[in-house]
Each structure stands twice: as structure tokens, then as C-alpha cells.
A and B are shown apart, each in its own frame.
Chain A
Amino acid sequence: MTALVQAFKSIMANKVRTFLTSLGIIIGTFSLFVLLAVGEGAGEAMQDTIRSLGSNIIMILPAPGMRFRARKVRFDEEDFLALKALDEAKQVVGYAEKTAIVGVGGRKFASRVKGIYGDYFRAMNLKLIKGRYLDYFDYNSTDRVVVIGSLLARRLFKEEDPIGKLIDIDGVKFEVVGVVDRESATFSLDNSSCFVGFKTFVAVWKIPFFNVFVLIARNEADVDALQNEAIRALYSRWGEDFIVEYDVLNQQELLSTMEKIGDIFKFFLGVVASISLIVGGIGIMNIMLVSVAERTREIGIRRAIGATKFNILVMFILEAVALSLVGAVVGLILGWWAVKFVDKLGYAVSYNWGQVIVATLFPVVVGVVFGFFPAWRAACLNVVEALRYE
């Protein structure tokens, strides 16, 4: 305890240096905490969304990892009709999507545009809060009409009524006919997306195939049969490629797939944050080496009056830990603010004591690891030479 107090006193003797050294750890802890909160939040939001869809749902999605590669399977209207023809299917929805810039007046936002075919809104449990859903005529024409998510509506129009207004999507004007909201989820991508008819989507963006199918079974007992029938129908059209490139998932499988994707996502976010922490650790090692050199005489004095090598080792490791702890605490406070801010913006974040503990312990481990080498050097100094050091 005395030693830790001493360590803090010692690093506080040089405040500017302490701050600059801790900066790496501050940034590292900050990003670790924020990325954990955002990653966790996004994961939870996805899970919530899927849970809210009910247990009758089956989704046909590109397999993870297949998303960005060129795929051989390109679903068209015939696939849609083949699925629609299945006895167990109450409802079939197909959609394609892409990222687009949505703007009105001077405001611009990155958003997702979904070109939908079939009643996406009811299948995905999106509630109409203003105007109307897309209708039969919208699905079968290329009229430039759009339904937007509630969060996007708030961003684009603030308190104004968006119905009947024109918005700009990738440079093309669309008339807003409705606003939808998913309230059951803490956060949903759909709340910040735009929805246009599939034929309109093809006309504007020239992507003439579906990315995803959503099937709703007539009742829960039909889900397994529907899943098998859907696989059979699409396999007969696309063969092995379909099996390789697509997953046909029921609600349970969707949840576990989302969890897996979420874990991978979090892992990579964690790696990114860890890299900045390690860079911070190298900064600490650097300054500790300088400190050991500067305080060679002091080390000699301490050894002369009875400090063992171990005492010196512990002293410098504790100083490194104190440095990283200062960084961790500052980084956490800043991170906490940032996460609250992101939360207020309406994005999904999730933070708990577990993340706080991880974001504090990790820097401390970094301090011990990177403080060890300088401390070992200090401990191994020859007492007589250290005392003579000018």
C-alpha cells in the first residue's frame, strides 16, 4: 500500500510527462470501452429485432463471409414465386439492399435502402406511425415513392411532417409516403433505413436480384416443413451453389448466427482497441526506461539503505501500473461520456460493470507487462555504480 502511494507520488512529481505518457493508454481504454459498448449494443439490438419477429419466421440470407464476395446465385422473381407457391408459406418477402446517401435540404445521412417485394413491413413487424405502407401499386411500378424509418425521419425532418415531402436518395428524388417504426427493439437498423418498391429499386440502382427472402409460416408447426420445402425449391433452381452461398435459418438459428457474427465483430473491435493499448504500453515502457536512467542515483541510494532488488523491481512496476491506471481511469471517464452521447443519439449501446472491469484491468496488465523490462533493468543496477552515477 505504502509502495502504491509512493508510486503515485512519484508519477505526480512530473505531471506533464505523466499525462503525455498516459495519453496512449487513455486513447486505448477509451476506444476499448466505447467499442465494447457499441459492439455489445449492436449485438443486443440484432437479437431483440429477431426475437420481435416471432417464431414463425424463416430467413434466407447470404452465408456469413459470403456477403461481400461475388455470388453465383442471383435470386429473381421466379425464385420469389417458387417460394410463394409453397403450401406452408403464409407470406414471402424478398429484398435487395444497398448503402445510400439520403438528404433533404442541406442535411445528408448515410442510410440503407431496401428494395422490397411483398409486405416487408408486416413480415418484419414494422409499425406505421405516419402516412401509409407501400402498396400493391408501388410494388408493381417504378414510381419514386419511399417509406422511411422513424429515426431517419427525425433526423431529416426534426418535428416537421415528412409525408408528401421530397427526399434525395443517391441523387434521385423520392416522395415520402410513410414512416415506420420498430418499437420492440432498443435499436433497429430498420428505423434508420428507407424502403422502396423492388421494381423502383432495380430501375434506379440496376441491381436486379434479391439478396434476402423472408418467409412466414402459416403456423409454428409448419416452420420445419417450410424450411425444408424452401431449401428444396431453391436447390432445384441453383444446385450446390445455393447450399454454399446461402443459409436458410429459423428464428433459433438466426439468433445463434447473429450471436456468432456479434462475437466475431466484438473480437475484431477488441483487437483494434488492444492494438492502441499496446502502443500505449510501449509509450510507458519508453518513459520508464528514461525514468530509470534519470533516477539511477536514487536507485543506488535506495539499495544502499536496504532496498532489495525485488523492492526496486516492484517500485518501478507499480509506477508503470500507476501510469496506466491514471490513463485507464481518464479513458474510462471519457469513454463513459462518449457512450452516453452515442446512446442519446439513438444508436444501440450497451455497457455494464463487466466492460468497466475489462477496460480497467487490461491497461493494468499492460502496465505490468511493459513496466517489467525497465523495472528489471533498475533492479539489476550495480549499487556502487548507481551511487557514483552523475
Chain B
Amino acid sequence: MKGATETAKIILVSSLRKSYLIGSEKLEVLKGVDFEVRRGEFVCIMGPSGSGKSTLMHLLGCLDSPDSGSYILDGVEVSTLSDSQLARVRNQKIGFVFQAFFLIPWATVYENVELPLIYAGIPFYRRRKKVLAALEYVDMQHRIWHKPSQLSGGERQRVAIARAIVNDPTLILADEPTGNLDTKRSQMVMNLFKRLNKQGKTVVIVTHDPEITTWAERVVYVRDGVIEKEEVLKNDSFGSSF
């Protein structure tokens, strides 16, 4: 089983545990999560609030380190990496899309999308092409010099997606990406994710909205800090290997 499937798995998580200290009390949020994502897959992580799905998303996104367990991202064990190594992993391998967009308010659309490239150390004359390509991909090239406050919610999320893909990550990690959008704009954003997925990007979306799960190939349900169940949906998948 191993060997061949190893590289096919972009996320390989086993017995992942994480607890927080709230005051003097230790709150166990993740109680041993085992979970994997194949390269090119479109996966939804579902769960009610307090289920631990946000914590799981933070660990998957290398924003935080687990207490114990292993997390192999794209063939690299990341649970033991240092802070600056994690920053590099986030920069190179992961594209984040957040519910509240998280654009920098005083920077223009262009500057927001450019930011991951700056931290990647790409010289300015090579950044421009990449930024414009990413903005074109989300059809936002006409708003390059606007500030986020001058954009609608849907537009902001598209800019955020452009920022997520500009450095060509292997994994797109979205946290309630449609949570602040109406139905029509949600559709548009989800279509973008679908398109990215068809072009080979692995997409993992954390949500509590059942509507979103219909876009996925597979849904992972989290409850009380463990994986409750998994559900494979019949979706026309491109990257799926079965």
C-alpha cells in the first residue's frame, strides 16, 4: 500500500492532538485525529462550532503546531518544524482563503496579492507578471489600484483567492470562504475553487454550511475533537485516483 500512495497523499495526519489552557484548565480540542487528503482532491471538513474543526484547520495550515501526532504535508513532516520553517511552508505550499477575507485595508488590491511573493523573496520585476496573472484568473484585473474598502464582498474574496494562488501553492485551504457572502457570490467563489481543483489544486474547505459540501468529492465530519465519519460524494473529480 505504501510507497506509491505516499506521494499521492498531500495531507497525511495521524493521532493529532491539541489542547489549550483556558485559565488553569486544560481543554482538549483535538483528541487524536487521523485523516488524509489525496493530491488533487476536493475535501470539505464539516462540523458544528466547538467541534475542533477550526483548530484542525489551523494545524493543517501550519499556523499552529500540534501537541503530539504527526502531520505530513506534501511529503514533509511539519509538526516538528521551527517557526520560520513553518512560515516558509505556509508561503510556498499553502494558499489561505478566510471567511473575513483578511485583506490588508490600507494596501491596494495589487499590493495585497503581491505580498506572498515579497515574503517568498521573488524580485519585483518577476512579481508583476505573477500578480497580474492571478488577478486575471479571478477576473479582478480591472480593480488593481482599488483599496479593499472600495470592493464588494465577492470581489474581496476573489482578491483573497488571487493572493492564495499567486505563489502557486499545492494546497488551497479555505475557512468558511462563503460565510460572509450571499448565495450568488457564494456560487461564484465556489466555482473558482472548483476550477482551481480541476486544474490540479488540492482544495480543503472548512465549513459548517451543508450547501458547500455538495461541491466536494468527500466530506469529513468532525465532532468533539475526533473524525466522526467520512462521506464520499459522486462528483466529477479530476484529480481523484479511483
Point out residues on A near B: beta carbons under 8 Å.
2, 9-10, 13, 297-298, 300-311, 383-384, 387
Contact = CB atoms under 8 A, between A and B. Distances in A.
A306 B92 contact: yes
Interface of B: 58, 61, 63-64, 83-84, 87-88, 90-92, 96, 98, 102-106, 115-116, 118-120, 124, 163, 167
A306 B166 CA distance: 12
A2 B124 contact: yes
A16 to B, nearest CB: 15
A12 to B, nearest CB: 10
29 contacts: A10-B106, A13-B106, A297-B102, A300-B102, A301-B102, A301-B103, A302-B104, A302-B115, A302-B119, A304-B90, A304-B96, A304-B102, A305-B96, A305-B115, A305-B116, A305-B119, A306-B88, A306-B91, A306-B92, A306-B120, A306-B167, A307-B87, A308-B119, A309-B87, A310-B84, A311-B119, A384-B63, A387-B63, A387-B98
A306 B90 contact: yes
A303 B58 CA distance: 13
Contacts of B120: 306
A62 B98 CA distance: 78
Nearest to B85: A308
Contacts of A304: 61, 63, 90, 96, 102
B106 A308 contact: no
A155 B62 CA distance: 75
A308 B58 contact: no
Contacts of B115: 302, 305
Given A302-B115, A304-B96, A309 B90 contact: no
Given A298-B104, A384-B63, A306 B83 contact: no
A5 to B, nearest CB: 10
A307 B124 contact: no
B87 A308 contact: yes
Given A303-B63, A304-B102, A305-B119, 7 more contacts: A13-B106, A297-B102, A300-B102, A303-B87, A306-B120, A306-B167, A308-B84
A383 B89 CA distance: 14
B102 A387 contact: yes
Contacts of A308: 83-84, 87-88, 119
Contacts of B118: 2
Nearest to A311: B119
B1 to A, nearest CB: 34
Interface of A is mostly: helix
Closest 5 pairs between A and B when the two form their complex, measured CB to CB: A306-B91, A306-B119, A308-B87, A308-B84, A305-B116
Contacts of B119: 302, 305-308, 311
Nearest to A298: B104
B63 A383 contact: yes
Contacts of A383: 63-64
A300 B167 CA distance: 18
B64 A301 contact: no
A381 to B, nearest CB: 12
B104 A301 contact: yes
Contacts of A303: 63, 87, 90
A362 B116 CA distance: 34
Contacts of B105: 298
Nearest to B63: A383
Contacts of A9: 106
B29 to A, nearest CB: 12
Contacts of A387: 63, 98, 102
A305 B91 contact: yes
Nearest to B59: A384
Nearest to A390: B100
Query: A2, A302, A304, A383: which has the most chain B beta carbons within 10 Å?
Result: A304
A301 B106 CA distance: 13
- Most chain-B Cβ atoms within 10 A of its Cβ — which of A9, A303, A309? A303
Given A13-B106, A311-B119, A384 B58 contact: yes
A305 B105 CA distance: 16
Nearest to B61: A304
Given A304-B90, A384-B64, A309 B102 contact: no
A306 B87 contact: yes
| Residue of B92, B103, B116 with most partner-chain A CB within 10 A | B116
A311 B124 CA distance: 17
Contacts of B63: 303-304, 383-384, 387
A38 to B, nearest CB: 42
Contact of B116 (A10, A306, A309, A384): A306
Contacts of A300: 102
A2 B111 CA distance: 11
B41 to A, nearest CB: 22
Contacts of B96: 304-305
A33 to B, nearest CB: 33
Contacts of B103: 301
A306 to B, nearest CB: 2
Contacts of A306: 87-88, 90-92, 116, 119-120, 167
A308 B91 CA distance: 10
A377 to B, nearest CB: 15
Contacts of A309: 83-84, 87
A384 B98 CA distance: 12
Contacts of A301: 102-104
A310 B88 CA distance: 12
